[in-house]
Amino acid sequence: MQIPIEKVEHIELRAVVNDTDTARVYGSGLLDVYSTPAMVALMEKASMELVQPYLEEGYGTVGISLDIRHMKAIPIGEEIHCISKFTGSEGNQLTFEVKVMRGQDTVGEGIHKRYIIDEKRFLSKIK
């Protein structure tokens, strides 16, 4: 299944860092700052939402790799936004450039890969 790269540009999701997004809550650190696991989840969500409208009914995507850098600590209450840009595909593997920003400051960035799946077939294999 091919995604029409010429039609897909990017998506931008906005969020406010809340107390459930912190390193302390995720167990990835001791501080009440935006955690890397929360940032990863936002990057994956943006990428999934970007391509889902182009897939046939019954198909979805699953994340298979993420190579990121988390470069800035963000406190609770701050607004952030995630930009995911579809950059290409090889068969059913999709590649995205992802970036989380606070204003003009880069919080984190990297490359994310997802795989197109037939949802019923995928679920039948894991039971």
Distances (CA, A) of 14 to 3, 8, 10, 31, 57: 24, 19, 13, 23, 27
Report how far residue 27's alpha carbon sits from residue 107's, in angstroms, rounded to the nearest whole number.
Answer: 19
pLDDT of residue 5: 63
pLDDT at 9: 84
Half-sphere exposure of 88 (CA within 13 A, CB side): 2
Summary mean pLDDT of the chain:
94
Residue 1 lies in a domain: no
User: pLDDT per residue over 25-83, tens digit each?
Assistant: 999 999 999 999 999 999 999 999 999 999 999 999 999 999 999 999 999 999 999 99
- Is 3 inside any structural domain? no
Contacts of 83 (CB under 8 A, 6+ apart): 10, 11, 12, 46, 98, 99, 100, 101
Mean pLDDT of 80-92: 96
The Cα–Cα gap between 103 and 93 comes to 31
Domain that holds residue 48: 10-126
Per DSSP, 123 falls in state: H
User: Does residue 57 lie within any of the structural domains?
Assistant: yes
Whether pLDDT at 108 is above 70: yes
pLDDT value of residue 6: 65
Q: Whole-prediction pTM value?
A: 0.93
Q: How many domains does the chain have?
A: 1
In a domain, 118, yes or no: yes
- Residue 4 covered by a domain: no
Q: Is residue 97 part of a domain?
A: yes
